[in-house]
């Protein structure tokens, strides 16, 4: 008899583990237990199925050649038995068996195992908002949820949708609903959307969404949902007013499914997921856990974390599958990488934001760089704004985030590779990245960013972020805001209160730039501002900073210069 491997959970980590174990061990008896009907589907593709970009739900659960990954497929191709519509209700560690119950039949059976893999995933948080039970107040987790959204958005003309929660799913669904000609109000309790990024970067995204017509409300608490008498939701009452909505998406986070593990006495880690070691083993050596239910070890923080992502779930599933089949593999932990598309903008991040580093008490500097993703002369170049976070003591790159219509993700992925190799910004600045004009600048924007970080670490350059500058302005600080762009650029839009002295005129018009007030210089990307700051330093100015990322990174009020 072969090794008996039981896998609980049949979406990402579970099927990946089962398939890997089968490839390594032809004689194993492998069973997947899944409480729902569908399995091995691409949950990450659901917003694109809802928007209509993906035409058929089958595409989300078929192989690249169109074969449906159903129980028959798993039996015939993988020799893996699938018990779907079957709930695992108890793990008997002493007897090494899982008790399962048929969802329709109610019949129970015991599945003996030699190795057990928990891939039970996570469940959306259900916030206790009054009115939560009204009709058309939905969450998005499974294909069936996506079917409901899609059907509604196809049937109702110009739906008015409130999205409660400005996280990854909330952002992706905003785009999907606008694609379906709906109007969207995003309501986020925190001061900015995508809380794992810094405010200066997310404010740019919020501005872009507002420019498209999305109503983005931050620092806004939902107080209750109200109906219109027929049981359907009609309004969202918030701390900043009442908004009509005929459909509400609740998307306020998810929690790992750990009840089975907890009841079996397995250790649950501080982040709420099942504790696993680097080999995906739980506190019981014959029981493994992978995917959203399992705790991750975060390489940069050096602590455990909860990171519910398909990218990680698949790799962990593969690792668990290898290990139960006796081919020992170590999973080295995560960098906290994530990516998303919001309309025509790309967003990515990994490692620590400045806000997170401050919470952890890690002294850091940040460098924000705005630049085209390819040379300015090459057709189709698009801007990106990247923010690098470097640890002061070690000079290591420990965080990266970026937004914009350009190719942000290429830079994020290079930065993640550098962070995995524990590179300093000095090493990143000299990475021998491939270059030709259709792909990047000769000095890629990531390398520019690393050089800015080096200049800041070496105290050659002082910068203020857009949020710091805004706070200074709102606090009435007596600073001199110096725009060193051309008169045309200034006329087309500038930061209110700034004085135009084009770069070429800085040396001859020093009398117009005060020496006794803090000066903040800016241009489109802050490259010319850096030149200006160097000129002023050479002339004895002692309090000059540049605006990190320049005017391209400015998300606040703009006026048209005199």
Residues in contact with ligand FAD by CB under 6 A are 8-14, 33-36, 43-44, 46-47, 87-88, 119-122, 140-141, 169, 257, 260, 291-292, 308-311, 313
Q: Does 44 qualify as catalytic in the annotation?
A: yes
CB nearer to ligand FAD: pick between 106 and 241: 106
Least distance between ligand FAD and beta carbon 463 (Å): 32
Would you give the distance in Å from CA 270 to the centre of its chain? 22
Helix (H, G, I), strand (E, B) or coil at 177: helix
Helix (H, G, I), strand (E, B) or coil at 90: strand
Least distance between ligand FAD and beta carbon 349 (Å): 12
Rounded Cα distance between 242 and 236, Å, is: 6
Residue 367, strand partner residues: 388
Beta-carbon contacts of residue 23 (< 8 Å; ≥ 6 apart)? none
Nearest to 299 by CA among 352, 373, 256, 362: 352
CB nearer to ligand FAD: pick between 98 and 357: 98
Half-sphere exposure of 351 (CA within 13 A, CB side): 31
CB nearer to ligand FAD: pick between 169 and 494: 169
Helix (H, G, I), strand (E, B) or coil at 201: helix
Rounded Cα distance between 480 and 514, Å, is: 7
Rounded Cα distance between 316 and 180, Å, is: 35
Least distance between ligand FAD and beta carbon 354 (Å): 24
Q: Which position among 44, 305, 523, 559 bears the catalytic label?
A: 44
Backbone angles phi, psi at 482, to 5 degrees: -110, 115
Cβ distance 288 to 281 under 8 Å? yes
CB nearer to ligand FAD: pick between 119 and 389: 119
Least distance between ligand FAD and beta carbon 273 (Å): 10
CB nearer to ligand FAD: pick between 266 and 501: 266
Least distance between ligand FAD and beta carbon 190 (Å): 20
CB nearer to ligand FAD: pick between 108 and 491: 108
Would you give the distance in Å from CA 289 to the centre of its chain? 23
* β 397-404/345-351 pair status: antiparallel
Q: Describe the crossing of helices 13-24 and 71-78 by its angle, rounded to 10 degrees.
A: 20
Burial class for 156, CB neighbours closer than 10 Å (0-12, 13-18, 19+) = middle
CB nearer to ligand FAD: pick between 120 and 220: 120
Rounded Cα distance between 82 and 93, Å, is: 22
Least distance between ligand FAD and beta carbon 10 (Å): 6
CB nearer to ligand FAD: pick between 333 and 372: 333
Rounded Cα distance between 27 and 29, Å, is: 7
Least distance between ligand FAD and beta carbon 312 (Å): 7
Q: Take residue 268 and report the two structure tokens written for it.
A: 């649950």
b/e string for 171-196 if b means 16 or more Cβ within 10 A? bbbbbbbbbbebbbbbbbbeebbbbb
Least distance between ligand FAD and beta carbon 542 (Å): 48
User: In sequence order, what E strands does 454-526 have?
Assistant: 463-464, 480-483, 499-500, 519-522
Q: Take residue 442 and report the two structure tokens written for it.
A: 């000769």
Enumerate the active-site residues. 44
């Amino acid at each position: 008899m072969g090794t008996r491997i039981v896998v609980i959970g049949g979406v990402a980590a579970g099927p990946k583990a089962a398939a890997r174990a089968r490839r390594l061990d032809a004689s194993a008896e492998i069973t997947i237990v899944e409480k729902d009907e569908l399995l091995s589907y691409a949950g990450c593709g659901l917003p694109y199925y809802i928007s209509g970009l993906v035409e058929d739900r089958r595409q989300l659960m078929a192989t690249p050649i169109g074969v449906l990954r159903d129980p028959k497929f798993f039996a015939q191709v993988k020799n893996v038995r699938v018990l779907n519509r079957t709930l695992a209700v108890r793990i008997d560690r002493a007897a090494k068996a899982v008790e399962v119950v048929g969802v329709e039949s109610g019949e129970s059976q015991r599945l003996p195992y030699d190795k057990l893999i928990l891939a039970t995933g996570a469940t959306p948080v259900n916030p206790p908002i009054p009115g939560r039970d009204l009709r058309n107040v939905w969450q998005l987790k499974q294909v069936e949820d996506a079917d409901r959204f899609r059907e509604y958005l196809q049937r109702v003309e110009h739906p008015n949708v409130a999205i409660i929660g400005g996280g990854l799913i909330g952002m992706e669904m905003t785009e999907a609903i606008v694609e379906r000609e709906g109007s969207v109000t995003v309501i986020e309790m925190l001061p900015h959307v995508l809380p794992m990024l810094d405010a200066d970067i997310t404010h740019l995204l919020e501005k872009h969404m507002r420019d498209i017509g999305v109503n983005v409300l931050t620092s806004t608490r939902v107080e209750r949902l109200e109906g219109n008498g027929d049981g359907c939701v009609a309004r969202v009452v918030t701390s900043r007013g009442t908004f009509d909505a005929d459909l509400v998406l609740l998307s306020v986070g998810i929690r790992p499914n750990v009840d089975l593990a907890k009841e079996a006495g397995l250790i649950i880690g501080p982040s709420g997921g099942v504790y696993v070691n680097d080999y995906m083993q739980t506190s019981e050596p014959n029981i493994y856990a992978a995917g959203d239910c399992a705790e991750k070890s975060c390489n940069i923080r050096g602590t455990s974390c909860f990171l519910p992502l398909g990218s990680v779930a698949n790799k962990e599933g593969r690792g668990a599958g290898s290990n139960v089949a006796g081919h020992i593999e170590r999973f080295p932990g995560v960098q906290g990488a994530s990516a998303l598309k919001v309309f025509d903008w790309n967003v990515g991040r990994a490692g620590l934001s400045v806000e997170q580093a401050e919470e952890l008490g890690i002294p850091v500097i940040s460098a924000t760089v705005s630049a085209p993703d390819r040379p300015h002369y090459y057709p189709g170049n698009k801007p990106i704004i990247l923010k690098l976070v470097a640890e002061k003591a070690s000079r290591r790159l420990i965080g990266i985030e970026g937004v914009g219509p350009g190719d942000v993700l290429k830079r994020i992925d290079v930065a993640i590779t550098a962070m995995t190799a524990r590179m300093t910004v000095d090493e990143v600045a000299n990475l021998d990245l491939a270059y030709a004009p259709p792909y990047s600048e000769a000095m890629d924007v990531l390398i520019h960013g690393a050089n800015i970080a080096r200049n800041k670490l070496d105290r050659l350059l002082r910068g203020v972020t857009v949020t710091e500058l805004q706070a200074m302005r709102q606090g009435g600080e007596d600073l001199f805001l110096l725009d060193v762009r051309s008169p045309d650029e200034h006329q087309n839009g500038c930061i209110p209160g700034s004085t135009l002295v084009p770069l070429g005129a800085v040396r001859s018009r020093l009398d117009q730039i005060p020496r006794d007030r803090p000066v903040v210089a800016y241009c489109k990307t802050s490259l010319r501002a850096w030149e200006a700051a160097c000129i002023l330093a050479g002339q004895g100015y002692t309090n000059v900073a540049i605006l990190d990322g320049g005017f391209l990174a400015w998300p606040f009020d703009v006026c048209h210069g005199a």
